[in-house]
Amino acid sequence: MKIVIIYFLLAYVKVTICLRVVSITVPKYKQRGEPATLTCDYDLEGGRLYSVKWYRDNEEFYRYMPRLRPPQHAHRLDGVKVDLGKSSARHAHLRELTLRSRGLYRCEVSEEAPSFHSAQAEAFMEVYHFPRDSPSVTGHERRYEIDEPLDVNCSSARSFPAPDLHWHINGQKITERSWLVAYGAKPVPQGLLVSTLGLKAPAKPRMKLRCVATIGTHKRERTVLIDTNSASCNSRVGASLLILTCVNMIVRDKIS
Ligand SMILES: *[C@@H]1O[C@H](CO)[C@@H](O)[C@H](O)[C@H]1NC(C)=O
């Protein structure tokens, strides 16, 4: 019995080392509109290649079969456009990614008869649409009383996925939850999202607000200033000084 098991184990080990897909290399993150080169690296261990087939979410989009003339064949999938000129037995080159290009990519390599062994590997590709514009801020245009809670929103430009939003006051990142209002992400056309974060911090003089939208390492930000009534006090002081100077000048004129 033991001998039989060992025999089968050996046979199995022999089969698996005949053909190995050493690795599949798929960019982890890509931007919409960019191209992508996917690589399937395999080791035939002396066997002969029958086919390399590529799938996105189990749907085939490209195959390479060296015995066929031409050896390449592509099937169009939504979001997957193969550039045959740049593709080969080990590469699939995709043109102009769209948000629909995201998915689980798999390559499957098969050996010729008599073995027909096959092996495969898979990896996920995420496609982003980074916001082109800075986030927009509303509610900062009006004047606030000192300590009056702000009523300010920051909304990201259209993107995918929804960016993380953060508020900073005078350079300090706000973590105080009672000051933040998370409105979440709202879908907009073309599969994109807009996220909004409100800020209810008490108004202070000389307040500089910065809203930062991030997706991974990609950042967009906008800075606005809050006008409080103490600031208007300052400008009134400024105006009085101006009047005093004027009066001074008039008086001096009269004297001379
Ligand atoms: C902030 O966004 C919320 C949700 O969209 C909205 O109800 C509110 O009026 C907005 N406030 C300002 C100041 O834009």
- Which of these CATH numbers, 2.60.40.10, 2.40.50.140, 2.40.110.10, 3.20.20.70, describes 12-128? 2.60.40.10
pTM of the predicted model, to two decimals?
0.64
Which residue has its alpha carbon closest to ligand 1 atom 6?
Answer: 153
With cut-offs at 50, 70 and 90, classify the pLDDT of residue 162: very high
**Edge-to-edge strand ranges of the sheet holding 49-56:** 29-31, 118-128, 103-111, 49-56, 59-64, 72-74
Distance 200 CA to ligand 1 centre (A): 11
> Which residue in the block uniquely carries the two structure tokens 């929103």?
153
Q: How confident is the model over 7-63, as pLDDT tens digits?
A: 555 455 444 457 888 899 999 989 999 999 999 999 988 889 999 999 999 999 999
Token readout for 208 is 């500089």
Token readout for 244 is 């005093």
Distance 153 CA to ligand 1 centre (A): 6
Could you tell which of 136, 137, 138 is best to mutate to test the pocket of ligand 1, judged by most ligand atoms within 8 Å of the CB?
A: 138
CA pair distance 186, 17, nearest whole angstrom: 50
Backbone angles phi, psi at 23, to 5 degrees: -165, 155
> Is-contact 154 211, C-beta < 8 A?
yes
Q: Which residues line ligand 1 (CB under 6 A)?
A: 138-139, 151, 153, 183, 196, 198
Distance 99 CA to ligand 1 centre (A): 29
Q: How confident is the model over 67-125, as pLDDT tens digits?
A: 999 999 999 999 999 999 999 999 999 999 999 999 999 999 999 988 888 999 999 99
Q: Give me the residue spans of the domains in the chain.
A: 12-128, 136-232
CATH tag, 136-232 = 2.60.40.10
